[in-house]
Amino acid sequence: MGTRSPISGSPRRCLAGLLLALLSACAAPGHDADRRAHLRYVGSSTIAHFMRSAAQTYSAASFSLDTAPESSGGEAALLAGEADLAGVARPPTAQVLAAGVSAVEIGRDAIAIVVHPDNPVNDLSLAQLKGIFGGVIDNWSQVGGQDLAIVPFVVGPESATHYVFRSAVLGSTEYGGCQVVRPDPEIITRVSQTPGAIGQISFAFLAGASDVHPIAVEGQAPTVTNFDYPITRPLYLLWNKGHAEVHEFVDWALTEPGQQVVMGHFVGNRVIASVQAGAGAASRTPTVTNGHLVVFTDTQTVDDGGLFYYPHLGYQVLTRSGQRVRRVPNHRGDNDESPTRVPLPPGTYLIRAETADAGTAEFFVTIVSGETTTVSVAELRQRSGL
């Protein structure tokens, strides 16, 4: 008889040990993460800013991102079954929608105009931009700048920025005398290295970019909280019906947590307007540190023993990206019919106001030190067509 090794054990003990090892492996950290759905994103490099941030928050799926094909390539990949999710920084094409693709707007973006940081020009009209990108205006001295040749850079035609900008600025005119740059973020590098340069780029790419200078258009600053800025575009997620994991992610993108991620880079899809300081909605006060906000929200009816009062509904004050700052009841008691005057540090805030139809209305306000900004929710909703 041979001698049995002390580590071989009986068959029953070996089987028990194998089962224990398998159970331990299943319980090991990271096992749940390995079973998550993996979603392939193809499309807009602008919307990819949201996707990267969402991947840090959304735990039900992991993502791979391919932004090289940009918006047009995202639509093509979805139709070819080569993507689970596509990002399009413009309205989807009729061809894609006719194929039964689902689409939802998750937010809005501003297309910024950037120049070299040494360029003294701070504002251009739409007509001047049309002349520059159409090849008619070729020297900065023609638009109030130095005697320096203009070098216009544009993103490739596969990028939605290319077409949205042309539609908003050039109309039926084609680009003229422009150098095409790929991928989109390379615009920042090329403009920063070229004293006479001007370029088009999603505002989302400018976070932390100090080597280019974004200029105003028609006197409006290129920020995602300025609804009067004239060059903006919608951001869409597209997917094929029947893909439950994708549908769940898109639904999440429209929830408050999802929109908070969106608004780290863009305007959320529920924001209806913005009120800028100095736009006729502010009045001067002696305050030197804080500004003040007065919001005329919808009212509710309160019956106090046959006497009727109409106090204003409450609202939340949030940061621009959706982080809660405070809640304002907007009345001191059931018989108080005056909205509350709220002190706030200077800055831009997202207001989420309760409405009489049990919904909410979201809009931006800009608070300036020593000024009171007054807003009517009913007027903002009427202006936005709601």
**Res. 315: pLDDT tops 70:** yes
SS (HEC) of the chain: CCCCCCCCCCHHHHHHHHHHHHHHHHHCCCHHHHCCEEEEEEECCCHHHHHHHHHCCCCCEEEEEECCCHHHHHHHHHHCCCCCEEEECCCCCHHHHHCCEEEEEEEEEEEEEEECCCCCCCEECHHHHHHHHCCCCCEHHHHCCCCCECEEEEECCCCHHHHHHHHHHHCCCCCCCCEEECCCCHHHHHHHCCCCEEEEEEHHHHCCCCCCEEEEECCECCCCCCCCCCCEEEEEEEEECCCHHHHHHHHHHCCHHHHHHHCCCCEECCEEEEECCCCCCEEECCCCCCEEEEEECCECCEEECCEEECCECCEEEECCCCCEEEEECCCCCCCCCCCCEEEECCEEEEEEEECCCCCEEEEEEEECCCEEEEEEHHHHHHHCCC
Distance CA 291, CA 250 (A): 38
* Res 5: pLDDT: 35
* Res 286: pLDDT: 53
Nearest to 229, CA basis, from 216, 238, 239: 216
* Res 134: pLDDT: 97
Class of domain 33-107+233-269: alpha beta
**Res. 9: pLDDT tops 50:** no
Above pLDDT 90, what percent of the chain? 79
Q: What is each CA distance from 109 to 39, 312, 374, in whole angstroms? A: 24, 32, 26
Nearest to 133, CA basis, from 210, 197, 56: 197
**Res. 217: pLDDT tops 60:** yes
Instruction: Quote the pTM value.
Output: 0.81
**Res. 211: pLDDT tops 80:** yes
- pLDDT classification of 26: cutoffs 50, 70, 90: very low
Distance CA 3, CA 287 (A): 93
Burial of 124 (C-beta count, 10 Å sphere; 0-12/13-18/19+): buried
Residues 81-105 pLDDT 10s: 999 999 999 999 999 999 999 999 9
Q: Which fold has domain 110-232?
A: D-Maltodextrin-Binding Protein; domain 2 (3.40.190)
* Res 284: pLDDT: 54
Name the least confident of 149-153, 154-158, 223-227, 332-336. Answer: 223-227
* Res 283: pLDDT: 55
| CATH code reported for the domain at 273-383 | 2.60.40
Residues 127-186 pLDDT 10s: 999 999 999 999 999 999 999 999 999 999 999 999 999 999 999 899 999 999 999 999
Q: Which phi and psi angles does 336 have, rounded to 5°? A: -95, 115
Domain with CATH 2.60.40 in the chain: 273-383
Domain with CATH 3.40.190.10 in the chain: 33-107+233-269, 110-232
Mean pLDDT along residues 193-209? 92
* Res 226: pLDDT: 87
**Res. 23: pLDDT tops 50:** no
- pLDDT classification of 355: cutoffs 50, 70, 90: very high
Nearest to 327, CA basis, from 360, 301, 356: 360
- pLDDT classification of 8: cutoffs 50, 70, 90: very low
Residues 243-301 pLDDT 10s: 999 999 999 999 999 999 999 899 999 999 998 765 545 555 554 589 999 999 999 99
